[in-house]
Structure formats: C-alpha cells, structure tokens
Amino acid sequence: MREMRILFIGTGGAIPTEDRGHPSLLVEYDSTKILVDCGEGTQTRAKSLHGESLHDVDAVLITHHHADHVSGLVPLATTVSMLHGKNLRVYGPEPGDEAEALDVRECEGIDYETLDPGDEVEVGNLRVKAFESRHGVPCLDYRVETDVVPGKADPKALNELPPERRGEALRERGSPYTITEPGRISVYLKGDGRPADPSNVKGCDLLVHEATFDDPGDARRYMHSTHVEAAEVAKKANVTFLVLTHFSAKVDPVRMREEAKEVFPNVVTAEDGLRISLRRL
C-alpha cells in the first residue's frame, strides 16, 4: 500500500482520433479501483489496447455530463450488471441545462450520487474531494488521496527497543525509528474547464490537467485551458509532476509539452496507454 497507479485510457478531446480516445483514466491503490470519466468505447479500449478490465471498478467519477465524458457509462453498467448482478456506482455533478449535456442519472444499471463542490466521499481506501471547475455545464475537479502512509521503519533502531515497545514506536512515527516521513499520496484530476485553482492543488504529488487548446483565445471562448495555463497552475501549486491531457485533434502535443516545460519543467503530454506510478518510499 505504498503505490498509486494511474492508467490513461483516453486522452483526446470531443472528437476521438485513431490514436486518442474519449477522456478516461483509471486510478488504482491497493484493492481500490476508480474510473474517472467514461467516454465512448472506454471499456473496450481499456481491455483490448491496455489489458485492463473495468467490470470490477469500485466507482466512476464523472467530471461533467458532456457526451465525450459519459457515453461509455451505459455499456460499462451493463457489463457490471451481467457479471456481478449489481449497479454501477457513479459520482458526479448535476447535468445542467445545456442541450449537449447527457443526463445519465436515471440510466438503467447506474446508481448515481450527485456531488457539489466541497463534498467528500470515501471509495474503498481512497478519499475523494470535489472542487468546482468553470466550464459550460456544471463541472467538477477531483482530488484523490490515500490515508497516511507510514514512514519506513529503521530496523537497527527498532531492534534496540524491547519487543513490547516497537509497535508503539512505529505508531508514533518519529525519528529515529523511521527513516522516511509518513504522508499521503495525492493526485489532482482536472477534467474540462478553465485552469484549476492552485490552492486546491497544493500538496499533491501529481496534477493531471486538461490542455484542450494551444490558443488562449480559444481556451477562454470554449471554457477550456491551454498547456501554458496548466503549467502555471503546477508551478504555483508546487506539485512534483504535471501531465497534460484532453487534447483537441487540431493541436500539436509535442510542441505544447516543450512550451509548457519553459514554465514548469516536470511535465509530459499523456498518450493513450500511459501508465504512471506514484510511490512513497
């Protein structure tokens, strides 16, 4: 329980391409699996291209109700029902009034719980907190965190203690009995919308941020973000690592990465199938 794993299933925009599917990523920690967004073909691409089954996810977090983020929910819910005889657990915002929003709350096989900014839920052994995202419809960002991971023990120091004191010393998590500090593994997941508030991101190991457009005017007009804006958030929040995703088919992610690195050096552009592991030593 010292590693969180993230698989980017789909990293494209509203129009999928041969190389980039609709947005979706999988977060795994110990025995907990959370799917974030579920666009068209998510479960098929996860299995056929990346070797991951999604029928056993503990929950799905959707950022908003646009089709490219929710159109794969009903097929996945059908699979879960057929294999496990239960409904798919889904969390997300209200759909809003925009004509393009697909209200999935009452779909067959889905147990939907509405979240508002500031709400927190526990999924398995992960804690999820929702934050408001400025987009054309109600939209949420998610901060996903583990419980506190204990520091690693120092065997030499522990062996100097009587056996009955060793458990207490580890629970105190103090030097010299541990050689690394305890802490959480935290990731901030930015789906669609204008740039995340750095104050919500502070303390995270990883920021996953949409970068749909490379033109600031387009980003403001359509309520999305650019790669440079995402890098500025990462810099202000002092995260360890930034991953850019959700690219329009019109942009050049390679060039965007190089421009973002001028603001924040530890950045990569996601591709479908990218896997990242976050470990506490």
Query: From residue 179, how far is each of 159, 174, 279 by CA, in Å?
Result: 14, 9, 15
110 closest CA partner among 134, 92, 128, 133: 92
Name 146's bridge partners.
126
Label residue 43 exposed, middle or buried (CB < 10 Å: 0-12, 13-18, 19+). buried
Residue 68 known to be catalytic: yes
Cβ atoms within 10 Å, residue 165: 12
Which of these is catalytic: 19, 58, 68, 111?
68
Task: Judge residue 86's burial from the number of C-beta atoms within 10 Å of its C-beta, 0-12 exposed, 13-18 middle, 19 or more buried.
Answer: exposed
Q: Do the strands 126-133 and 139-146 form a parallel or antiparallel pair, or are they unpaired?
A: antiparallel
**Closest CA relative to residue 16, chosen from 36, 37, 39, 38:** 39
Instruction: Using alpha carbons only, give the angle 133, 141, 47 rounded to the nearest 5 degrees.
Output: 130
Contact 7, 31 (CB under 8 A): no
Q: Could you give the residue numbers annotated as active site?
A: 68
